[in-house]
Structure 1
Amino acid sequence: MSHTIQATGAGSGHPASSRRPNSTLIVIYLSLGGLSFAVLQSLVAPALATIGKDLSVTTSDASWILTAYLLSAAVLTPILGRLGDMVGKRKVLIIVLSLLLVGTVLAALAPNLGVLIIARALQGAAGAIMPLSIGVVRDELPKERVGVTIGLLSAIFGIGAGVGIVAAGPIVENLSWQWLFWLPAILVVIALIGVIFGMPESPVKTPGRLDILGAGILGVSLVSLLLAISEGENWGWDSFGTVGLLALGAIALVVFVLVELRTKEPLIDMRLMKVRGVWTAHVVALIFGFAMFGTFVLVPTLLQLPSATGYGFGDTVSEAGLFLLPTVIMMVIFGPVAGILVRKVGPKPPMLLGSIFVTAAFILPAIDHSQIWQIVVSGLLTGAGIGLALASTSNAIIESVPATQTGEAISVNTISRTIGSSIGTAVIAALISSHSTPQGLPLNDAFTIGFWVCAGVAVLAILGALAAPSMRQRRKQAEALGVEDLPDEADELHLLHTGRAEDAR
């Protein structure tokens, strides 16, 4: 597969003679868009029972409000990310933010569950904000600001998810569930206006055709897998529907890989998966998606249990959400810190450190979660770990692929995180359900086992980070082509990795 590159290099979007756009405002607009998407992903979860009651449906049926969002995001993220690389990231960002705004307003006005599910599917299209935003940052910002900014944007997706959990209780208790959508809509409007009037079109494009066949097969695979994971607890993990969808999803994924390897202009260049800096970043993102949403399920549930149980803390929904604030604050701090570290020592050390932090964050409450300080310290470690690791995975990909393939590579990373989040939520919910009293009250063992499971999964992130290439290894690869400035030559390194060294010369 060959690429037509109209312009490349971070921060090379505009000639010196032209007036550069205000990069700070661009980052603000992108941050608001990303924050809106992430908040909307988690904001409705604590309010499902309330929404279901108001719309006269069961909580199980109301869970489709979450499922529709995840399915739409997983399917549309790679398609829209690829379109951004092809026709321009700003154009596609405007489309994506418009869909997010329409979906958010429609959700706030939804008279029944069917309309609300459609609205959530429209919102899910905004999953492409992450790859598109990182592509814009790479194209528009000065090189010295790219790493830190990507760290901030990556952390925002974790921050938004945490803010959603924290804010849901107070919004529903003091306003109504409709305001779960009206408030984020304000952020979306600001972001959309900013992108339309304050952001230039990226000069880095990869002209070509959209791989419709690949998109269709990938859609079948992701919908099957995520539907089985999301509904497995309700349907039964050994039911024909769950097992059949898992099998269909796995088969379709294999077919997708085979088709993409033979397609001239694939939706996702599978050769990128051979690059160690890429596949290790995807593995770490998958695991952190699991760990992050494992935290968002376990901690609020534990805090809201009656203190009479001997292990619950008797907090309200709002009070329980506040205990996630330390996690959110640490994400805000350590996301940009990761970007600084990446520039100095490469993405591997902060990715490894973040994985160690999160592992420790789960081991502590797994050993004992009877004291509130243990929950708080666990939250601090979780936030620091997520901020470091997720920012590092995005930077690792940026340094491993050419600018023309930023969208598709980050899209896969975003999908990995989404799938990890779905698996984490489903697994922890199943553990809690299987370790409960006949009246449905979770037992203490549910939390002990849940924390240990998350700790065990986090260890896999440590192994993934250890497998990532070091700065020295990457420099050796660069020297093989006579490259002096490693960060500027990701295109040539990519050609080397994929066996196209002749093109690099």
Structure 2
Amino acid sequence: MNAPAVNRQTRARVWVLATAGIVAALMQTLVVPLIGHLPDMLDTTAADAAWAVTATLLAGAVATPVTGRLGDLYGKRRMLLVCCVPLIAGSVVCALSAGSLATMVTGRALQGMGMGVVALGISALRDLVPPDRVGPSIALISSSLGVGSALGLPFASVVAEHADWRILFWTAAVLSAVVTLLIHRVIPPTPITAASRSYDLVGALGLGGGLVCLLLGVSKGATWGWGSPAVLVLLAAAPLVLGAWTWWELRTEAPLVDVRVTARPLILTTNAASVIVAFAMYASPLLMPQLLQLPQETGHGLGQSMTAAGLWMAPAGLMMMTISPLGARLSAATSPKITLIGGSCVIALGYGLSPLLIERPWGVLAVACVCNAGVALAYGAMPALIMRGVPVSQTASANSFNTLLRSVGTTIAAAVIGMVLAQETEPYGDGRVPTEAGFTTALLLACGAALVAAAVALTIPLRKAPASHPKQHSEEPA
């Protein structure tokens, strides 16, 4: 095949995988504008309605490492297609929920089960594109998460304000079906790289149980009470279950996650930095829309409508796609480690400037754009670092585990920032709203987290990347 044909084929494959990532990210932001309306829509309490968000989080966290390992065992293209099935089914179930909480939560959980498409898509790049295109392609697919959020938030806001909310889920079902067709038509079968075809069911159950205990305890702590028996039992059980899971993974012949590989300094420090970067990243989408929509009478709110707030935030998501090629070039010229450090510092800069800028909508946009530029750099570097340190046979499972750890970081961020805002409130109307000091504290906390991530990234040990195609190397020395 001649060079122009190869280039066209490569671009088509990368853009299909990036589109799949955009659609997956869209699922996460669909219900954000609906959160305040869910109790009325589903005829339930605010605490129970929150399960429409929590179910997606838990299902995605449990399913992502499972589908990653299955991708190594049975082929990444096959598992990409499998992941699209719950995306379609979950969207249809939500659209047909007819005001039923149980049906909505079931549909949202199904949508969460399809979230492994991003990690699988990144991992498949080793098999699908020339070696000189792997870095830029990783950066582009990583940025799809921001693009999906950027497109999803204003679209969902407009529909929530002016049309039937079911349109959101029917649209998601159609988009998921289109992505399924594109993957089937454009992405070729990928090789099976796992050395063993056995599947670690005990490991999958153990990791799933530990994650449910941890994430459910953290995400529900503020609602149920941090001192409540349920939360205390969950948080106490999490390290016990995950400890037992680690013991099992070290002793089984074909583990779900090779703990010895994840303990290598390169992988361990990259994963640690990923958790902290995810914590810092999530502060922006948590805080900025609230600031934009708070009434101006509070003294620090900007009085924007739901739709206007979504539109103000949209360019920040698109910033990720703009910056990601620059990050890929920086990684190629230096190393992904430098890009991760630089991205973390850019995130810290954005949050550090926030107290000076958030008094106007354009200032909020500027802070969000700077932070997302840093996220684009950091998120593009993480998978590149992971793939440098794992055998080809574990590419999908290692990237899925890294994606899982980022989910842990965002969950912890939601809990911590929620606590900060809950502690700093003032009366407004018949209720209470977060104070300016609460927002400032939360933003500076995110700034500090980004600086810690940069410090952790400084300790990442690196060897020079192999010059030949990664598929020719089954092992990277620790």
TM-score, normalised with respect to structure 1:
0.89
Cα-to-partner distance string for 1:41-64 (whole Å, 9 max, x where unaligned): 122122122232122112221110
Inter-CA distance 20–344: structure 2 relative to 1 (3 Å threshold): closer
Q: Does the CA contact (< 8 Å) of 1:401 and 1:491 recur in 2?
A: no
Task: Please tell me whether residue 53 in structure 1 is matched to residue 40 in structure 2.
Answer: yes
Matched AA of 2:452: L
Report the counterpart of residue 454 of structure 2 in structure 1: 462
**Which of 431-440 and 220-229 deviates more?**
431-440
**Which of 43-52 and 410-419 deviates more?**
43-52
Report the counterpart of residue 255 of structure 1 in structure 2: 244
Mapping for residues 174-185 of structure 1, pairs under 5 Å: 174-185=162-173
Separation of aligned partners in 2, 1:238 and 1:342 = 45
Cα-to-partner distance string for 1:418-454 (whole Å, 9 max, x where unaligned): 1111111222122222211252222111101111111
1:110 equivalent among 78, 87, 97: 97
Matched AA of 1:209: S
- Percentage of pairs with the same residue: 33
Task: Please tell me whether residue 88 in structure 1 is matched to residue 80 in structure 2.
Answer: no
Q: What's the secondary structure of 1:324's corresponding residue?
A: helix
Separation of aligned partners in 2, 1:372 and 1:101 = 36
RMSD: 2.2
Matched AA of 1:262: R
Q: CA deviation at 1:462?
A: 0.8
Report the counterpart of residue 259 of structure 2 in structure 1: 270
Task: Please tell me whether residue 233 in structure 1 is matched to residue 222 in structure 2.
Answer: yes
Task: Please tell me whether residue 388 in structure 1 is matched to residue 380 in structure 2.
Answer: no
Task: Please tell me whether residue 208 in structure 1 is matched to residue 197 in structure 2.
Answer: yes
Q: CA deviation at 1:367?
A: 5.5
Report the counterpart of residue 308 of structure 1 in structure 2: 297
Separation of aligned partners in 2, 1:319 and 1:156 = 22
Matched AA of 2:16: Y
Task: Please tell me whether residue 289 in structure 1 is matched to residue 278 in structure 2.
Answer: yes
Q: Does the CA contact (< 8 Å) of 1:21 and 1:199 recur in 2?
A: no
Which segments of 5 or more consecutive residues in structure 1 lack a partner in the other structure? Answer: 1-13, 479-483, 498-505
Matched AA of 2:26: V
Q: CA deviation at 1:342?
A: 1.7
Separation of aligned partners in 2, 1:156 and 1:288 = 17
Q: CA deviation at 1:180?
A: 2.1
2:404 equivalent among 415, 432, 439: 415
Inter-CA distance 391–188: structure 2 relative to 1 (3 Å threshold): same
Q: CA deviation at 1:313?
A: 0.9
Report the counterpart of residue 324 of structure 1 in structure 2: 313
Report the counterpart of residue 138 of structure 2 in structure 1: 150
Q: What's the secondary structure of 1:323's corresponding residue?
A: helix
Separation of aligned partners in 1, 2:164 and 2:384 = 39
Q: CA deviation at 1:324?
A: 1.5
Cα-to-partner distance string for 1:62-102 (whole Å, 9 max, x where unaligned): 11011110111111111111011001111111111012111
Cα-to-partner distance string for 1:99-141 (whole Å, 9 max, x where unaligned): 2111111111112110111111111111211221112211011
Inter-CA distance 252–356: structure 2 relative to 1 (3 Å threshold): same
Inter-CA distance 105–21: structure 2 relative to 1 (3 Å threshold): farther
Q: CA deviation at 1:192?
A: 0.3
Mapping for residues 342-421 of structure 1, pairs under 5 Å: 342-366=331-355, 369-421=358-410
Cα-to-partner distance string for 1:347-387 (whole Å, 9 max, x where unaligned): 01111111001011111124663244432321121111000
1:139 equivalent among 95, 103, 127: 127
Q: Does the CA contact (< 8 Å) of 2:346 and 2:373 recur in 1?
A: yes
Inter-CA distance 355–407: structure 2 relative to 1 (3 Å threshold): same
Matched AA of 2:152: G
2:112 equivalent among 124, 144, 150: 124
Cα-to-partner distance string for 1:473-503 (whole Å, 9 max, x where unaligned): x13xx8xxxxx73774884653x32xxxxxx
Task: Please tell me whether residue 160 in structure 1 is matched to residue 152 in structure 2.
Answer: no
**Which of 119-128 and 196-205 deviates more?**
196-205
Separation of aligned partners in 2, 1:162 and 1:240 = 39
**Which of 316-325 and 351-360 deviates more?**
316-325
Separation of aligned partners in 2, 1:396 and 1:26 = 22
Matched AA of 2:172: P
Task: Please tell me whether residue 453 in structure 1 is matched to residue 445 in structure 2.
Answer: yes
Q: CA deviation at 1:252?
A: 1.0
Q: CA deviation at 1:327?
A: 1.5
Separation of aligned partners in 2, 1:340 and 1:441 = 44
Separation of aligned partners in 2, 1:81 and 1:490 = 21
Separation of aligned partners in 2, 1:385 and 1:19 = 32
Task: Please tell me whether residue 186 in structure 1 is matched to residue 174 in structure 2.
Answer: yes
Separation of aligned partners in 2, 1:104 and 1:489 = 36
Separation of aligned partners in 1, 2:440 and 2:368 = 16
1:485 equivalent among 467, 472, 476: 467
Cα-to-partner distance string for 1:254-285 (whole Å, 9 max, x where unaligned): 11111111111000001122223222221222
Inter-CA distance 487–366: structure 2 relative to 1 (3 Å threshold): farther
Q: CA deviation at 1:28?
A: 2.4
Which segments of 5 or more consecutive residues in structure 2 lack a partner in the other structure? Answer: none
Q: CA deviation at 1:410?
A: 0.4
Q: Does the CA contact (< 8 Å) of 1:101 and 1:189 recur in 2?
A: yes
Inter-CA distance 490–447: structure 2 relative to 1 (3 Å threshold): farther
Inter-CA distance 386–20: structure 2 relative to 1 (3 Å threshold): closer
Matched AA of 2:32: A
Inter-CA distance 435–201: structure 2 relative to 1 (3 Å threshold): same
